[in-house]
Structure 1
Amino acid sequence: MDNLFRKSIFMLVLALVFQMAPGTNFTPRSFAAQGPVLNATLGSSSFVAGDNTTSSPVTIDPGLTVTDPDSATLASATVAISGNFQSGEDALLFVNDGSTMGNISAVYVVSTGEMTLTSAGASASLAQWQSALRSIAYTNSAITPNTATRVISFTVRDGADTISNAATRTVTVTATDQTPIVMTAGGTTSYKPNTTAVAIDSGVTVSDRDNSTLASAFVSIGSGFQPGDTLDFNPSSTYGNIAASYNTTTGVLTLVSPGAMATLTQWADALRSVTFSTSSVTTGNRTIGFAVSDGVKTSSIATRTVVVTGLPVLTGSNGSASFVAGDNTPSTPVVIDPGLTVTVPSSTPLATSSVAIIGNLHSGEDVLAFVNNDAAAYGDISASYNGSTGTLTLTSAGSSATPEQWQSALRSIVYTNTAITPNTATRTIGFTVKDGAGTYSNTSTRTVTVTATDQTPIVMTTGGTISYKPNGTAVAIDPGVTVADLDNSTLASAFVSIGSGFQPGDTLDFNPSSTYGNIAASYNTTTGVLTLVSPGATATLTQWADALRSVTFSTGSVTTGGNRSIGFAVNDGAKTSSIAARTVAVTGSPILTGSSGSASFVAGDNTPSTPVVIDPGLTVTVPSSTPLATARAAVTGNLHVGEDVLAFVNNDAAAYGNISSSYLSATGELTLTSAGASATPAQWQNVLRSIVYTNTAITPNTATRTISFSVKDDEGTVSNTTTRTVTVAATDQTPVVSASSGSTAYAAGAPAVAIDPGITISDRDSATLASATVSIIGGFLPGDTLSFPDAGPIRGAYDNANGVLSLAASGGASLAQWQSALRSVTFSSPRGATGDRTISFAVSDGTKTSSRSTKNVAVTGSPSGGSPEPTPIKPVINQNGSALDPDTIDTSKPSVSLEVTPAGGTAFVDIPSSILLDLGNRNANFLLEINAPYGAYRVPVNLASLIPGLKDLLAKNNVKAEDISFKITLTDKSDDKEIKTALRDELSTGKAMGAIVDYSITIMNTKTGQSIGEADQFSKALTRVIPMPKNMESMPERWGAFRYNETSKKFEFVAAKKEQIEGVWYVMIPSYSNSVYLVADNRIDYSDVQKHWGKPFIELAAAKGLVQGVGGGKFAPNQAVTRAEFTAMLVRALGSRRTASDDMPIYTDVKSGSWYYGAVAEAKRIGLLDFAGDTSFRPDQPLTRDEMASMLAAVIDRENPSFDRELVSLEGYKDVGSIDTAYLEDIRSVVALRIMTGAGDGTFNPKGESTRAQAAAVLIRTLQALGMID
């Protein structure tokens, strides 16, 4: 065969040589045949031995290919294990599938490992051979085969006996560890709980195909496992070195042979000896599983069933029962387990049961109880309780009770506790039953939580009522009060309260005493509650009872009699008792019931006012038989002394009895009295209903009056006070004009004659009039003329067609001016127009017009005679157009008030200097107070001497001193847009109070009526007055007065003080200059001073405009204040408005244009900066405390030069010796006035830096010490 193969190769090579020769066209097919060819697949096939089963053969080469170019069929093939053949275990397998493998058959020789395949007649095709060879499989019959890789060779032979090449493929062989096997005998084993353990399976068998020993085993309780189930094994030499351990939680018994030395027989014996037992009363099947391990593999589990027969079973409920001790009552027992179930699987009846406190028993208080009150439900079950052991034993005689009756009985068992304050440990209660055969059930447990209850204290009254009369001696409410508390010997507090019937004036009182321990009390008059407290709750129950017995009731209430329900309650610090009540019967007081609404009073018009009855519907009720003795009616709201009057007139003895009255105008009280208290309640009611209110003022104050009524009986018991209001309406008084009597003679054609030089004018409520009319109403003839020479503000216009002269005054004119004007009206007529004329006069105040008053002019023939001589003009004071004769001013008084009615928001008084000189000659200290509704100006008679530069001004204008007047003007600037804008911008938190007033003084030339200058600076402070709103009851804490600087458009601080006059607040502003002034509520808060010592000073100084914050709502109180800053503050506080010119030399380091330049210049001018020297000021240097004292002392010397510095010693300061002698007296001054005090550590600290807070404080203190502010 090999020779044939070599011959084939030779022929192939030769053919290739010929073919490659040049020009040769030789074809290789002309040579001999090549034979069949096999191509094996790369890689290996894998064989794995079976585990306890025949191994699965593996196909050797399912991808092998067979080709033969010379033949379509093959005759035979050989497949042989040519490498690592293992005789006795290796095998090759072929099975003809009957479809794809033709007639191929095979023979395998086990000794050689060769398989020969043949095709009878060599008829099998190449495809059939390929299919057959691909299907050949390798297998191994050994349990543990040799694992050497096998080499498998394939060859084929064709019909010409040509043999193919040998194709090979390898087969890897893997041995498999054989799993051990355990088998049970099947069936079941019976067991009764709590009996001797039973072998589970005495027929267990064990095997292992490749091991004669095993390493371990386990026996486990699967389904049905219960706590109490146990598997057991007792070691013995029979079982080799096998030992065991049992896990009670999982129900698994683990058996181990160290070193896997125990044989299969020993393991079988050991497993056959394993026993089952249980203490669980749960019946049912337990599935017991057996498994063994050879140290590598573990067998499948073989099972056997243990059937557990039944015992009585108790099944308790989840959770706990809750017991709560009673509060002042026996505790309510609690059912322990109302859901407990009893199961009796056998027919053996139950005989007894035990229910016991097995956890936290407290004998002497714990009790278990059962009451058989229903034979149908509980059968004949009875019970007995052993208090010392906490065990309740239940018995059924003859075991006759059914399981259902036992269940009902056990479900009804209760727990209770006899202690007032039980131990609160949770109790554990155990239940068991026993059947007639002596078999016990399991023990079922349930817990009972125990809650102690704080016992509510108890207070009890004796009930009933006690009587009391208002304003009588206080009476003990209940001398029989008792107090108890089951779990406390002391109490913490109590309250006694007036419940229903409570009236203002009712009082509960308690006087502490050692009898009552440390009990103290306080009474709330608003709620009627008296609270009594024992600090530390140390007062005993006895002391509390005594204390409550001593509580008294009294009342000053004059309401109708009636009951007061007085409640008592006590508290032990945790709980409050229920309220125990006792009634105090209060006998009645007189009762007044007023009418609703108001009475209306209207002032008379030029006639006495008509009184108005105050309350014609008032009723008087007198519940007791005690007669009424007196009554009081009073103006208790908005009394106006000097005008308000209350009156009663007894003009009917039947209606009013003997009641008389007296009125005290100073207090507005009308007192009424019945001698001997003989007037009846009906008569008192008639009297009170008839009391009237009237007002004697021409123009009364129109505030609504409140009138109060009360009565008092003969025993001194005062009624309630009933009130009614009276509205007051002022009546505009009609002006009155009265012509003189007689006739005026006139010769027709003669010069005009004054119609009535004696006419008079009056108006009770107005000092000015607006207009007048003079009319010829009788005898009017053409040519008749009424004439008026315009005078002051009064102008006239004559209607010659109707004979009417109309006069009007723009802004109004005074009564005197109008009277003078009407007296000057003249009549004339042409010659020949004789006959009487009737002339009427009427005047108007702008609201009402007077009745006409007439004068007769008798006109006769032609005139004769001449005109009268002119009268010299006498100087007068011009009050906004009204002339005031200075001779009417009384200079024996300190001042005179010149009341001015504004016109267009402006009020002025023009005073000639000659009049001031004359008044000053009579009283050098005399003041004229110019009063407008919105402000006042107090002007001294020596005004001319207080105006710096007045002489120069007169000389400049060539005017004599006696030819000038001072026009003093007060203008209401409250609506000035510029000022309101500045107010909003500069005083953003400020709110103006009262008017914003511009005060000015113009110097007038009386001969020309022209102004020659303004007086805006004075050598002495003049006082301006701004009234506050009349409804302002009090001034705000933080207010300031301010001067408006028209140049800078800013508001500046000005010193001011408040004063209340007749219920109205006024602000007095003394100042050296004229300007616009206002008063503002100017509350400013800084977040960083709220807890600072300087808070009140800083806030007040900020409100007055003396200091400012640093931004962001902060003040920086502890920041050092510099020399420049404090100088500016101090100059601002003094109100000086002078500033230095830019070229005025001050200090070398104070430059023109710096923010503090003007303040430093003014401070140096008035002598505040002596400490600084003459050349440099060092403005940014922190101000030391001795420098601050120097500046403040200079202010004191300037404002109060008479101050005595020797009044105070500085020896109290530890560092007095370190004070520079140059500052010693200055410091003495400020300490004496308490403007500055020590540094807080017993020193003055003269060289310490001053802070912004200290600056604010000393500014306020200085101004207060000098009396410049409140």
Structure 2
Amino acid sequence: MNAVRKYVAAVMLWILALSPAAGYAAASFELAVSAKEVLRGGTITLSGTGAGNDAQVAVKIVSPARTTFYVDVLTATHGSYAKTLTIPSDPALAPYGTYTVIAGSGSASAQKTFAVVEKLGSGNENPGNENPGNENPGNNNPGNSNPGTTPANGSPIPSGAGKASGSVAQPELSQDGRYVIGADTMDAAIKQPGSSVTIELPAAALKNGTPLELPAVSFKSLGDNNRELILSAGDLKIQLPAGAIPASGDAQSKVRLTLNTSLTNDAQSQIDRSIRSDASYKSTGVVLSVNIQLLSGSTSSDIHNLGKPATVTIKLTPEQAAAISARTAGVYFLNGDQAEYAGGTVDGGVLTFKPKHFSTYAVLQYDKRFADLASHWSETAVRSLAAKHIVTGVDATHYEPSRSITRAEFATILMRAVDWKGEAPATAAGTAQPFKDVAAGQYYAEPVAMASALGILSGYDGVFRPNDKITREEAAVALVRAAKYFSLSGGSGASAGKTAFADQADISAWAIAAVEQASTQGLMQGDGKQFNPKSPVVRAEAAAMIDRLLPVATN
């Protein structure tokens, strides 16, 4: 799975790095578009030859506003590839102007252009009164319902653009349809006491995908002053820690951020492609697209990865909150034809997740049902953890709830739970392996090393015994340590008060305190009389324990 993620990430980074200034294609690789002009609501086909059989072809379309209009990874069949797209009818989603198509496979790339026009054959990319020879459509652009054809780098940002009130800055709408904040305005907000600076955007900017631009030096100043940047628009809030967006002190460079929460036809199509192979997935209609560009001189480059994870919160509408199950909902990165789990929680009608990179995300529900769990006492816990991709089945339809779980397996799912919570310190990742019987490359090597580094799991005289069945008293120690370290206790298990088990004398001395805590915190239960400390933990029990460890979420 890690290899697939790294491969797809590399492909996406490559296509996001492509710009209209890319080099000429190798002679064998070709790209064609079906028309030079297309109407809103019409279709256009991208096709080409020269890719190897079953080769991956990365495709990106850049809009007239220099934002990403479409991105995909196609599979070539017998060296040929093709994709038909429907141009949105909404002017805000498909402004008139020239679109640049960039395609590539391996080291070869090619690019073409087409124009979205009001009337075919008019030769006018900005027809009618919508934008008559002027990048400012005047009264035809109330509230910026149509971002128009923002130039690659737009006009310079006046240093006093926008206004600041304390540490809150509000942008102004430029004549060419961008929201802008000047360096002096940002400096005034940054100099205020506090740990953050907030930029308030109109809620309409989310529907229209209207760009926000501010000087790159402002990001450097935010970092130098250790200030978090908060982007607020309607029900969306994005918190960017100091240094999350790398930017130089070049006074001529700008950062453009484009936020969009509209469920466009293209976004819906991408969701449908991503989940079509698994009926356990269901779309909720909640999406978020974030595009960040660094504009310098006549060039632009996409900023994909963040220096530090951001925190995104979206207040759901009452209708969305009622339709979304907090137990089975999660955030997914739409990665070509795949949906990659990105964590996330829904609690009290608020969605929260912490992306390490920005692109297009969707909230999906994953309600995995296993044939051997129907009416089983652990079914609810397994479904909840499967939705968080903490546990998986032994195959597509079976969980095997009564099968014993090994120490390696328990370490893996426990650290997945910790990773889902998003509180593992960065220094714990990549820790050297302390156990001589844990070979590099094993699926459990990294979680075992991290669990050891955090003091959650320990071994025996330098060995971990990964293939041994984990006992109930060993699991109790690990659960209590995890709950203490990550403040995870007080989850779905109710406190049972002090319990005296009939087999108390059988509990190892090093586990007595942990067993007591696990019992009183509701993380583990005996059979009513005995704890059975030396008995192996089965897969159903492991799921119940970890589900109790996690916080209770409500719609």
What TM-score results when the alignment is normalised by the length of structure 2?
0.55
Distance 1:1217 1:871 in 2: 74
TM-superposed deviation, 1:991: 0.8
TM-superposed deviation, 1:906: 4.8
SS of match in other structure, 1:1247: coil
Q: Look up the equivalent residue of 2:379 and give its one-letter code.
A: K
1:983 and 2:275 aligned:
yes
2:410 maps to: 1126
SS of match in other structure, 2:385: helix
Deviations 1:648-688 (A, max 9, x none): xxxxxxxxxxxxxxxxxxxxxxxxxxxxxxxxxxxxxxxxx
1:944 and 2:242 aligned:
yes
TM-superposed deviation, 1:989: 1.5
1:1255 and 2:542 aligned:
yes
Give yes or no for contact 1:894–1:925 (8 Å, CA) kept in 2.
Answer: yes
- Going from structure 1 to structure 2, the CA distance change for 1:1080 and 1:1045 (only over 3 Å counts) comes to closer
Give yes or no for contact 2:499–2:516 (8 Å, CA) kept in 1.
Answer: no
Give yes or no for contact 1:1116–1:1252 (8 Å, CA) kept in 2.
Answer: yes
Which is bigger in relative contact order (C-alpha 8 A, separation at least 6)?
2
2:472 maps to: 1185
TM-superposed deviation, 1:1119: 1.3
Give yes or no for contact 1:927–1:938 (8 Å, CA) kept in 2.
Answer: yes
1:874 maps to: 160
Which of the pair has more CA radius of gyration? 1
- Going from structure 1 to structure 2, the CA distance change for 1:1211 and 1:1037 (only over 3 Å counts) comes to closer
Q: Residue 379 of structure 2: which of 1095, 1107, 1116 is its match?
A: 1095
TM-superposed deviation, 1:1171: 1.6
1:1245 and 2:532 aligned:
yes
Q: Residue 1081 of structure 1: which of 348, 365, 369 is its match?
A: 365
Q: Look up the equivalent residue of 2:370 and give its one-letter code.
A: Y
Distance 1:1047 1:1194 in 2: 39
Q: Look up the equivalent residue of 1:883 and give its one-letter code.
A: Y
1:465 maps to: none
Unpaired segments ≥5 residues, structure 2? 1-90, 97-126, 146-155, 163-170
The answer to which structure has the higher strand fraction is 1
Distance 1:992 1:1110 in 2: 25
1:1054 maps to: 343
- Going from structure 1 to structure 2, the CA distance change for 1:1047 and 1:1091 (only over 3 Å counts) comes to same
TM-superposed deviation, 1:1041: 0.2
Distance 2:489 2:372 in 1: 40
- Going from structure 1 to structure 2, the CA distance change for 1:969 and 1:1027 (only over 3 Å counts) comes to farther
1:910 maps to: 213
Distance 2:206 2:231 in 1: 21
1:1212 and 2:500 aligned:
yes
Deviations 1:17-70 (A, max 9, x none): xxxxxxxxxxxxxxxxxxxxxxxxxxxxxxxxxxxxxxxxxxxxxxxxxxxxxx
1:929 and 2:232 aligned:
yes
TM-superposed deviation, 1:1056: 0.5
SS of match in other structure, 2:282: strand
2:284 maps to: 993
SS of match in other structure, 2:410: helix
SS of match in other structure, 1:1172: coil
Deviations 1:543-593 (A, max 9, x none): xxxxxxxxxxxxxxxxxxxxxxxxxxxxxxxxxxxxxxxxxxxxxxxxxxx
Distance 1:962 1:1173 in 2: 58
Distance 1:1113 1:1201 in 2: 30
- Going from structure 1 to structure 2, the CA distance change for 1:1254 and 1:1000 (only over 3 Å counts) comes to farther
1:1117 and 2:401 aligned:
yes
- Going from structure 1 to structure 2, the CA distance change for 1:903 and 1:1255 (only over 3 Å counts) comes to closer
Give yes or no for contact 1:1040–1:1053 (8 Å, CA) kept in 2.
Answer: no
Distance 1:1007 1:1231 in 2: 63
Distance 1:1140 1:1075 in 2: 27
Q: How does 1:951-1100 map to 2 (within 5 A)?
A: 959-960=248-249, 966-970=255-259, 975=266, 980-985=272-277, 987-999=278-290, 1001-1002=292-293, 1004=294, 1010-1011=300-301, 1013-1016=303-306, 1018=308, 1022-1025=311-314, 1027=316, 1030=319, 1033-1036=322-325, 1039-1044=328-333, 1046=335, 1049=338, 1051-1052=340-341, 1054-1060=343-349, 1066-1071=350-355, 1074=358, 1076-1100=360-384
- Going from structure 1 to structure 2, the CA distance change for 1:1030 and 1:1179 (only over 3 Å counts) comes to same
Unpaired segments ≥5 residues, structure 1? 1-765, 772-804, 820-841, 849-869, 1061-1065
Distance 2:488 2:157 in 1: 54
Give yes or no for contact 1:1216–1:1244 (8 Å, CA) kept in 2.
Answer: yes
SS of match in other structure, 2:542: helix
Q: Look up the equivalent residue of 1:1077 and give its one-letter code.
A: Y
Q: Look up the equivalent residue of 1:960 and give its one-letter code.
A: G
Distance 1:1190 1:1245 in 2: 14
Give yes or no for contact 2:206–2:259 (8 Å, CA) kept in 1.
Answer: no
Q: How does 1:740-889 map to 2 (within 5 A)?
A: 809=131, 843=140, 873-874=159-160, 877=171, 881-885=177-181
Distance 2:200 2:345 in 1: 21
- Going from structure 1 to structure 2, the CA distance change for 1:1176 and 1:939 (only over 3 Å counts) comes to same
Give yes or no for contact 1:990–1:1081 (8 Å, CA) kept in 2.
Answer: yes
1:852 maps to: none
TM-superposed deviation, 1:1149: 3.3
Deviations 1:904-943 (A, max 9, x none): 9855433446657889999978733245xxx834225xx3
Distance 2:214 2:546 in 1: 39
Q: How does 1:173-192 map to 2 (within 5 A)?
A: none
Q: Look up the equivalent residue of 2:332 and give its one-letter code.
A: R
Give yes or no for contact 2:431–2:450 (8 Å, CA) kept in 1.
Answer: no
TM-superposed deviation, 1:1263: 1.7
TM-superposed deviation, 1:1256: 1.5
SS of match in other structure, 1:1241: coil
1:1149 maps to: 437
Distance 1:945 1:1072 in 2: 13
Distance 2:265 2:516 in 1: 46
Aligned-residue sequence identity (percent) comes to 20
Give yes or no for contact 2:489–2:550 (8 Å, CA) kept in 1.
Answer: no
Q: Look up the equivalent residue of 1:1056 and give its one-letter code.
A: T
SS of match in other structure, 1:1018: coil
Q: How does 1:300-319 map to 2 (within 5 A)?
A: none
Q: How does 1:387-786 map to 2 (within 5 A)?
A: none
Distance 1:1210 1:1109 in 2: 35
Distance 1:1247 1:965 in 2: 62
Distance 1:1225 1:1176 in 2: 24
Deviations 1:446-500 (A, max 9, x none): xxxxxxxxxxxxxxxxxxxxxxxxxxxxxxxxxxxxxxxxxxxxxxxxxxxxxxx
- Going from structure 1 to structure 2, the CA distance change for 1:902 and 1:926 (only over 3 Å counts) comes to closer
SS of match in other structure, 1:1171: coil
Distance 1:818 1:1174 in 2: 74
Aligned length: 397
Deviations 1:205-250 (A, max 9, x none): xxxxxxxxxxxxxxxxxxxxxxxxxxxxxxxxxxxxxxxxxxxxxx
1:1233 maps to: 521
Distance 1:1238 1:930 in 2: 46
Give yes or no for contact 1:1106–1:1129 (8 Å, CA) kept in 2.
Answer: yes
Distance 1:945 1:1087 in 2: 48
- Going from structure 1 to structure 2, the CA distance change for 1:920 and 1:1037 (only over 3 Å counts) comes to closer
SS of match in other structure, 1:1079: strand
Deviations 1:696-751 (A, max 9, x none): xxxxxxxxxxxxxxxxxxxxxxxxxxxxxxxxxxxxxxxxxxxxxxxxxxxxxxxx
TM-superposed deviation, 1:1188: 2.2
SS of match in other structure, 2:238: strand
TM-superposed deviation, 1:1244: 2.9
Q: Look up the equivalent residue of 2:179 and give its one-letter code.
A: A
Distance 1:1202 1:1184 in 2: 21
